[in-house]
Amino acid sequence: MAALRYLPNSDQDRAEMLAACGLASLEQLYSHLPAEALIERPLVLKPGISEYEIVDYFKRRGAECGAGYASFLGAGVYRHYRPVMCDVVVSRGEFLTSYTPYQAEMAQGTLTTIFEFQTMVSQLTGMEVANASMYDGSTAVPEAALMAMRITGRDRCLVARTVHPEYREVLHTQARNARVHVETFGYDTRTGQIGLAELERLIDARTACVIVQSPNFFGSIEDLKAVADLAHKHGALLVDVFTEAVALGLLAPPECADIVVGELQSFAISPSYGGPYAGIIATKEKFIRQIPGRLVGETVDAGGNRAFCLTLSTREQHIRREKATSNICTNQALIALMATVFMSVYGKAGLRELAMQNHSKARYLADGLDRRFTAPFFNEFVVRAKSPEAVNKALLEKKIVGGLALGRFYPELEDSMLLCATEMSAKAAMDTVKEALS
C-alpha cells in the first residue's frame, strides 16, 4: 500500500515493540476505548496514492485556476515577483520542520530570524515594538481593537468604511462576544478618504480606538496625522491598517499611530488563493505588555554571548490562560521568515525602487481613465465603468483578469472597479485595460 512510505517501521519492528509493551496484537493498543466510541467500519476514503499521482492530481487542479492570465486585482492580495532566495531559505528542513522556539538552545536560528523580522517591521512602520507575526492582516484588526480596549479601559471601536471590507467583517465577528462595540463611519465621496467630520461627531469618551487603513481599500492615502490628532484629543488610540506592504518603501511611515497592523503578503508570499499570509502588529514601547502573540528578545547565554529567546510570555495563553492578552498560539513563523528574506534581498534601496515601480505603473494605468476619487494613491485606485462586469468579461477573453467590481462591497459604487498595478504589470496589458475602459 502506497501510504506505507511514510511509516518507517517494518512488521518485525512492530512485533518487537508490541512484545516490549507486553501486548499480543496491535488492536490491544486501543481496545480499552469504550465500544460506543470505536468506529466499526473502515473510513470511506479512497486507497492511498503514489507521489507521482499526487503531483498529477494537483497539477490538474492548478490547470483549472487560470495560470498564465495577467491580472489587475489587488484589494488586499498583490502579485509581486518572488525572489528565488525566499523559497530556497524556507525549504531548509532546519527551518521548515522545526517547532516554536521554546527551547532556545536548540532554536537560535529561528529566534535570530524573528528578531530580525521584528526589527525590520519596526523600521518600516516607524513603531518601536513588533511581534513575531499574527495569522494575517484581517485577524490582526480585532487583536488591535482588543489591545486598545485593554489600554484605554474603553469598549467602543470606530472603524472606517474604507478599511478592507473583509477585515471589517472579521472585526464584527469578534464584536459578537458582546464586549466589543463596533461602529462604522463613512468616506468623503469626492476624495475617497475617511469622512473626518462624521468621525468627529461619533468619537466620544467611550471610544477606545479609531481604525483606519492607509492606503485605504480604494487606494486613497489617508491624512493619518489629522485622524491621530482627533483620536488623541479624545483619549482614543489610532490603529492604522495596511494591506500593501510595498507601499511602506515609499510612503511616510504611520508614526503617529499607536498601533499598526497589516499584511505582509506582498513580501514574497504567493497569493495562494488567500493564504497562508503573515499579519503584523506593531506599537509603541509603552504598550509592550499589552501586545498579543509571541515576542523574541535579546539576552545572553551562559557563556556571555548574545542569544535570543521568547520573552514576556506572561502575556500569553500558555502561562496566563484566561488572563492572556490573546488566545493566539501557532502564528505564521515560516511565512514571516519568507518576508524576512524578501526584505533582506531588496534591502533599503530595493524596497524604494520596487515601490517606485509600482507607483509609476499605477500612475500610467490611471492616466486618462475616469478616476472616481481625487486623493493621491500608491498602486491601486478606483475607476468608473458603466458595467464593470462587462469590462471584465471582455478582458477575460484576452487572458486578462480585470479589476474588482466594487458593487459587491459598496452598493453605491456599482459603477466602479478597483484596479491595481504592480511591477509585474506589463505596459501592453495595461494598454489593453485602458482601451477596454475608455
Q: Does residue number 48 form part of the binding site for another protein (CB under 8 A)?
A: yes
Q: Does residue number 305 form part of the binding site for ligand PLP (CB under 6 A)?
A: no
Q: Does residue number 205 form part of the binding site for another protein (CB under 8 A)?
A: no
What distance lies between CA 208 and its chain's CA centroid? 23
In the sheet with 259-263, reading across from the earlier edge strand, the strands are 129-130, 279-283, 259-263, 237-242, 207-213, 156-160, 181-185
Choosing among another protein, ligand PLP, none, which partner's interface includes residue 407 (Cβ < 5 to 8 Å by kind)? none
Residue 82 C-beta: closest distance to another protein, Å = 9
Q: Does residue number 12 form part of the binding site for ligand PLP (CB under 6 A)?
A: no
Taking alpha carbons only, the member of 333, 354, 366 closest to residue 433 is 366
C-alpha dihedral sign at 106, 100, 288, 120: positive
Cα–Cα distance for residue pair 369/371, rounded to 1 Å: 6
Residue 207 C-beta: closest distance to another protein, Å = 20
Question: Within 85-124, which residues bind another protein (CB under 8 A)?
Answer: 85, 87-110, 112-116, 118-120, 122-124
Residue 321 C-beta: closest distance to ligand PLP, Å = 12
- At CB < 8 A and 24+ separation, what contacts does 273-276 make? 273/65, 274/77, 275/136, 276/136, 276/332, 276/335
What distance lies between CA 261 and its chain's CA centroid? 9
Strands 237-242 and 207-213: parallel
Cα–Cα distance for residue pair 270/306, rounded to 1 Å: 34
User: Which residue among 155, 188, 198, 353 contacts another protein (CB under 8 A)?
Assistant: 353
In the sheet with 380-384, reading across from the earlier edge strand, the strands are 380-384, 416-420, 404-405
In this complex, which beta carbon is closest to ligand PLP, that of residue 10 or of residue 330? 330
Choosing among another protein, ligand PLP, none, which partner's interface includes residue 61 (Cβ < 5 to 8 Å by kind)? another protein
- From residue 331, alpha-carbon distances to 30, 161, 229, 336 in Å are 33, 28, 33, 9
Q: How many CA atoms lie within 13 A of 136 on its CB side?
A: 17
Contact (CB, 8 A) for 164 and 138: yes
Choosing among another protein, ligand PLP, none, which partner's interface includes residue 339 (Cβ < 5 to 8 Å by kind)? none
**x-or-dash string of contact with another protein, 369-408, rule CB under 8 A:** -------x-x-------------x---x----x--x----
In this complex, which beta carbon is closest to ligand PLP, that of residue 260 or of residue 328? 328
Q: Does residue number 182 form part of the binding site for another protein (CB under 8 A)?
A: no
Question: Within 320-349, which residues bind ligand PLP (CB under 6 A)?
Answer: 329-330
Piece of the chain touching another protein by CB under 8 A; list 188-196, 200-208, 231-239, 339-347: 339-347
Q: Phi and psi for 279 in degrees, rounded to 5?
A: -90, 155
Q: Does residue number 436 form part of the binding site for another protein (CB under 8 A)?
A: no
User: Which residue among 211, 245, 257, 295 contacts another protein (CB under 8 A)?
Assistant: 295
Contact (CB, 8 A) for 185 and 194: yes
User: Which residue among 154, 361, 371, 372 contacts another protein (CB under 8 A)?
Assistant: 361
Q: Does residue number 24 form part of the binding site for another protein (CB under 8 A)?
A: no
3-state secondary structure of 100: coil
Q: How many CA atoms lie within 13 A of 264 on its CB side?
A: 32
Contact (CB, 8 A) for 19 and 11: no
User: Which residue among 183, 200, 229, 301 contacts another protein (CB under 8 A)?
Assistant: 301
Q: Does residue number 286 form part of the binding site for another protein (CB under 8 A)?
A: no
In this complex, which beta carbon is closest to ligand PLP, that of residue 319 or of residue 329? 329
In this complex, which beta carbon is closest to another protein, that of residue 20 or of residue 411? 20
- The residues binding ligand PLP (CB under 6 A) are 329-330
